[in-house]
Structure 1
Amino acid sequence: MNTVIAFILIFGALVFFHELGHLVLAKRAGILCREFAIGFGPKILSFKKNDTVYTIRLLPIGGFVRMAGEDPEMIEVKPGYNIGLIFNKSGEVEKVILNNKEKYPQARIIEVEKADLEHEMFITGFEQGAEDKLQRFAVSETSYFIVDGNEVQIAPYNRQFGSKTLGQRAAAIIAGPLMNFILAFVILFLLGFIQGAPIDEPKLGELIADGSAAKSGLQEDDVIKSIEGQEMTSWTEVVEMIRANPEQELTFEVVRNGETINIDVVPQANTVGEETIGQIGAYTPVEKGFFSSLKFGAVETYTWTKEILFGLGKLITGQFSIDMLSGPVGIYDMTDQVAQSGTMNLLRWAALLSINLGIVNLLPIPALDGGRLLFFAIEAIRGKPIDRQKEGLVHFIGFALIMLLMLVVTWNDIQKFFL
């Protein structure tokens, strides 16, 4: 049960911050964001603040920000429609009722002659009881459609995604993956601040109680001057010397409280893969502080980003098998294993997943953020956008292929449980 909670919290946080990046930059550009959703499927919780409905949905496998102008189905008011109009105190149309008009006795019923609810914001038509007089009604920029009792805010063109500059649209899209990198950096910074940032100095960090170091009399913060007469200038050199001498007695010359002492230590043998290495049960030395933690967060984020990109490169060149990929089932299983090793390791795992999510979303694949950015790049080169229907078809095909890949990967994950 704890693993389920940990998985939902971690995945939910990654999706939340990703979508928050889209939302903040879209709103800053003046785009109407209709919905901010965590998960897919039926709504289990929702509330509205300002122009946006915030929802949590049943299936915690992603999220989305629904922006005006990106709606799959646009509501239109066409000539000949009979609609109801409700006005605000300024005399502008506040609500446009498309059906079930009998439920709104205060509405004025008109037959539409012409409507522009994007640019000039008006409706002309003939009101019941005055069919011989064409009237023009100004529509508020914060007005709503009412369809089957549900309110849908009307989006003037200047609040639609497509009305914004190429730079504003690109910023709103790239902000999602960028937030994942920022989240990873913040998590790693906090880990460095709480646990200390690893430093490459010849000094002992925390010792394991039953390790060779503790049993031999070594202590945390001992500075190692030499091992077997060989000068040690970094923690890396200390580790290399210990790893190369399993079950071999080594003489450590250490400085403790200003005093130099010699201690004999026998590294325990441990098999890693096909190699037998020596270990003494000592952690990497750490340094606690704000700036060292900042550096640790930045370096770790960069290092993991590079490693993931290297792995993707292997996948593209065929050096990396699809069997080595993991879907939700595989990630859940790995989360379970990491959760058993402690909260700090679980946070480090969350940072790694966040970086991975950011990188994957930046891949130039249709339906992903990187695919959207690719179309923006083509638009910048052509000087005009690609036809929206054609772009939508490409993204739909890309989404279908991603879902197919997800099914294959998930099936592989499930099979691994029975091997």
Structure 2
Amino acid sequence: MDILGNYLIPFLIVLTVLVFVHEFGHYWVARRVGVRVETFSIGFGPEIVGITDRAGTRWKFSAVPLGGYVKMFGDANASSQPDAEREFTADERKVAFPFKRLHQRAAVVAAGPIANFVFAVVALGAVFALHGQPYTPAVVGEVQEGSAAAQAGVQAGDRFVAIDGTEIERFEDVQRIVRLNPDDQLRIVVQREGERVPLQVTPETRTVEDRFGNTHTIGLLGVTGSEVAYKRYDPASAVWEAGQQTVRITGATLQAVGQIIVGERSADQLGGPVKIAQMSGEVADTGLTNLVWFMAVLSINLGLVNLFPIPMLDGGHLLFYAIEAVRGRPLGERAQEYGFRIGLALVLTLLVFVTWNDLVQLTSFG
């Protein structure tokens, strides 16, 4: 019962919301361009419960809750592969997805990831307007003796102005950049007694373990900031700040993925469904505000991953459409089939890998 209440239920709530947002983006744009949607499913496999609306769309929950799909008329399956074996009438062509113009198909596919980013902006905007945005001035409170910052000449009272050309507005900006650049020399500019002082610092490499049992290799300067405050915004400013925060999270995620690809960061840090379930339960216990933050970050990652140019994912479809735009005609049926098989293999391999990481990091398994 503890596992059900503490982990499974929060995980299913978080996953259902994010999958619904993503798939509803596809559905909404598809309906706008005149595509008939046959199925809107939360989960895969056998249907558990569902209802059919007036437009003929079957809305349902399926047995395996790890994702979802929107199946459009004219597709052979949930992966949006065209049904090449069927002959379509003139009326059917008007509402079939494969017969829509290229820009319309691309819009339908891109709408899923875009919906995830929009959700993140709306969710964070609500938090910033109702609760406030966590904010720490970019002022050094203390400098640890012998730390990288001390060796570089950083002093208490210094205000960070820029790091490697990136403007610094708050202490969280410093943490984000430094954590992602262990053992890399950084050019920093601090304001000291009204003057700008250029310095060079190499963050110390440190392996840490978070509250969820994940180990991370990060960079540390050895400085502390002032106390965290919360700044509330009016609705328009909250949305703007949420957009900025979404861009920052997206950039940091891409940088971390790039570091994993080139070997600067361990792939063991990647988490899968088990870890997300664990984190959902842990975060839910800390309150609704933190849970909304967590969902916003997951939504950004879901949208970002789906844009990767891998067949089976939205980014793979967009890649095929880009090729179609250049060639003036779609790729051949065999080429697309091979592409989807490769994409499926990559996605399944990644799923197995991250799930293995999850199991290894669980105390009961280790």
Q: What TM-score comes out, normalization by structure 1 length?
A: 0.63
Which position in structure 2 is the counterpart of 1:409?
354
Residues of 2 paired with 1:362 and 1:166: CA distance? 18
Which position in structure 2 is the counterpart of 1:55?
60
Deviation of 1:416 (Å): 1.2
Deviation of 1:4 (Å): 1.8
SS in 1 for 2:306: helix
SS in 2 for 1:51: coil
State which of 128, 131, 141 in structure 2 corresponds to 1:195. 131
Which position in structure 2 is the counterpart of 1:310?
255
Counterpart residue type for residue 382 of structure 1? R
Which position in structure 1 is the counterpart of 2:197?
none
Match status 1:41 vs 2:11: no
Residues of 2 paired with 1:360 and 1:410: CA distance? 17
Name the CA shift for 1:74/1:360 in 2 (closer, same or farther; >3 Å): closer
Stretches of structure 1 lacking an aligned partner (at least 5 in a row): 78-116, 121-140, 142-155, 204-227, 241-270
Residues of 2 paired with 1:356 and 1:364: CA distance? 15
State which of 85, 94, 107 in structure 2 corresponds to 1:171. 107
Counterpart residue type for residue 50 of structure 2? S
Match status 1:17 vs 2:17: no
Alignment of 1:126-275 (within 5 A): 141=91, 156-198=92-134, 236=170
Residues of 2 paired with 1:286 and 1:272: CA distance? 32
Match status 1:390 vs 2:335: yes
Name the CA shift for 1:272/1:159 in 2 (closer, same or farther; >3 Å): closer
**More relative contact order in 1 or in 2 (CA 8 Å, sep 6+)?**
2
Deviation of 1:283 (Å): 2.4
Alignment of 1:323-342 (within 5 A): 323-342=268-287
Name the CA shift for 1:389/1:24 in 2 (closer, same or farther; >3 Å): farther
Deviation of 1:236 (Å): 5.0
Residues of 2 paired with 1:35 and 1:232: CA distance? 52
Which position in structure 1 is the counterpart of 2:202?
none
Residues of 2 paired with 1:178 and 1:229: CA distance? 41
Q: Any conservation in 1 of the 2:14–2:280 contact (CA below 8 Å)? A: no
Name the CA shift for 1:36/1:389 in 2 (closer, same or farther; >3 Å): farther
Counterpart residue type for residue 309 of structure 2? P
Residues of 2 paired with 1:199 and 1:348: CA distance? 15
Name the CA shift for 1:119/1:184 in 2 (closer, same or farther; >3 Å): same
Aligned CA RMSD, in angstroms, stands at 3.2
Stretches of structure 2 lacking an aligned partner (at least 5 in a row): 140-155, 162-167, 175-205, 209-219
Residues of 2 paired with 1:302 and 1:323: CA distance? 25
Q: Any conservation in 1 of the 2:308–2:316 contact (CA below 8 Å)? A: yes
Which position in structure 1 is the counterpart of 2:164?
none
Alignment of 1:104-143 (within 5 A): 118-119=88-89, 141=91
Match status 1:6 vs 2:10: yes
SS in 2 for 1:38: strand
Deviation of 1:381 (Å): 0.5
Name the CA shift for 1:392/1:337 in 2 (closer, same or farther; >3 Å): same
Residues of 2 paired with 1:202 and 1:326: CA distance? 31
Residues of 2 paired with 1:32 and 1:318: CA distance? 45
Measured against aligned partners, the alpha-carbon deviations of 1:95-150 in whole angstroms (never above 9, x if no partner) come to: xxxxxxxxxxxxxxxxxxxxxx6235xxxxxxxxxxxxxxxxxxxx5xxxxxxxxx
Deviation of 1:278 (Å): 5.7
Percentage of identical aligned residues? 36
Counterpart residue type for residue 171 of structure 1? A
